[in-house]
Amino acid sequence: MIPIELPATIWCSLGPSCADTSHLTSGSVFFIDGSADVPISPPTQDPAIQGEQSIQAFYNAVPTNVPKVKGTLIGPNHNDVQGQPDCLRASFPCVNGVYGYLGYPTAWFMYQLQGDTFAHGAFVNGTGEMFAETTNWEFVGSNIP
């Protein structure tokens, strides 16, 4: 699964309940957010705030036996994933459009659904390509061996 722009749990009081990633027992998860989406889906957790209020906290809550990856696209806000594919015809605030959401999420599905070993290499903890791709990604984390 790839949750994109998962909202901080503080926003869940306004609508449906938020996901509780600590209950995942199988499958895999790749968390993605945008660096300009700090109020809704921040990449890092403020230690003074309780509960999952960031992609980092949702990632940390996932049990260690579940394959997991996280990353923050540099630039996009909460609406970029709705771009078609860029922001030219968008009627909402948009920075880059969907372009950043195409490469690594596709590789993640190739790895998870087809066992693609080349795609797997992008996510290996500490040495995978995603960790070195600092032009477009930051706050990358993985437990993929």
The percent of residues above 90 in pLDDT, for the chain, comes to: 35
Q: Would 31 be classed as within a structural domain? A: yes
Say which residues have a Cβ less than 8 Å from residue 86's Cβ, sequence separation at least 6: 96, 97, 99
Question: What are the pLDDT digits (tens) for 99-121?
Answer: 788 889 999 999 999 999 999 99
Q: What strands lie across the sheet with 29-34, from one edge to the other?
A: 29-34, 68-73, 137-142
Question: What are the pLDDT digits (tens) for 20-37?
Answer: 777 788 899 999 988 877
Q: How far apart are CA 96 and CA 113, in angstroms?
A: 28
Q: Would 71 be classed as within a structural domain? A: yes
Q: Whose structure tokens read 């230690």?
A: 47
Residue 47: pLDDT over 80? no
Q: Would 62 be classed as within a structural domain? A: yes
Q: Would 4 be classed as within a structural domain? A: no
How sure is the predictor about 46, in pLDDT bands with cuts at 50, 70 and 90? low
Q: Would 1 be classed as within a structural domain? A: no
Q: Would 37 be classed as within a structural domain? A: yes
Q: Would 3 be classed as within a structural domain? A: no
Q: Would 19 be classed as within a structural domain? A: yes
- Give the domain range for residue 73: 9-142
Number of domains in the chain: 1
> What confidence score (pLDDT) does residue 45 get?
63
CA atoms within 13 A on the CB side of 122: 21
